Amino acid sequence: MINVAGHRLGTREIEESIATHPAVAEAAVIGVKDALKGQVPVVFATLKTAGATAAGKRTAADGMQQRVVELLGGFAKPARVYIVNALPKTRSGKLLRRSLQALAEERDPGDLSTLDDPNALEEIRLALARGPSLGTR
């Protein structure tokens, strides 16, 4: 659960609405600290088609935000969307949301001994450094 300007939102509901977008293969939503709203939803997503252009990523990211607005309302709209090639997971396939949140808030991601693919976490770092495919930085 995250608290966005007084609205309690489940990240799972946001992820499920994003998953209805035809270009999305997988998505993880986290809450990131925000000075004005308390927290804002931030999306990390992989696309079904690898190697999308920058314009294609922006279009997909915009579509993801629109899906959330259509299905959940404007208050749930993600502040930023990052398109990546892989999401960090444990060896059993569970998404490491705590690591995503730590990196997005520029904190130490903690124990990563269960991480399946260290390259996925490095990709998240690079995506955060490049900036979002859509949203404010």
The pLDDT of residue 59 is: 94
The structural domain count of the chain equals 1
Is the pLDDT assigned to residue 96 strictly greater than 80? Answer: yes
Q: Which residues contact 25 (CB under 8 A, 6 or more apart)?
A: 45, 46, 47, 48
Render the burial of 44-59: b for 16+ CB within 10 Å, e for the rest: bbbbeeeebeeeebbe
The region, left, alpha or beta by phi > 0 then psi within -120 to 50, assigned to residue 73 is: left
For residue 45, what is the domain's CATH number? 3.30.300.30
Asked if residues 84 and 43 have their Cβ atoms less than 8 Å apart, the reply is no
Mean pLDDT, the chain, rounded, equals: 92
Q: Please tell me the distance from the alpha carbon of residue 135 to that of residue 103, in angstroms, as a whole number.
A: 17
| Average pLDDT of the segment spanning 88-110 | 93
Is the pLDDT assigned to residue 54 strictly greater than 90? Answer: no
For the record, the structure tokens of 107 come out as 């904190």
Is the pLDDT assigned to residue 137 strictly greater than 70? Answer: no
- What are the angstrom distances between the C-alpha of 49 and each of 7, 34, 117? 34, 32, 20
Is the pLDDT assigned to residue 44 strictly greater than 70? Answer: yes
Residue range of the domain that includes 105: 2-135
State the pTM of this model.
0.92
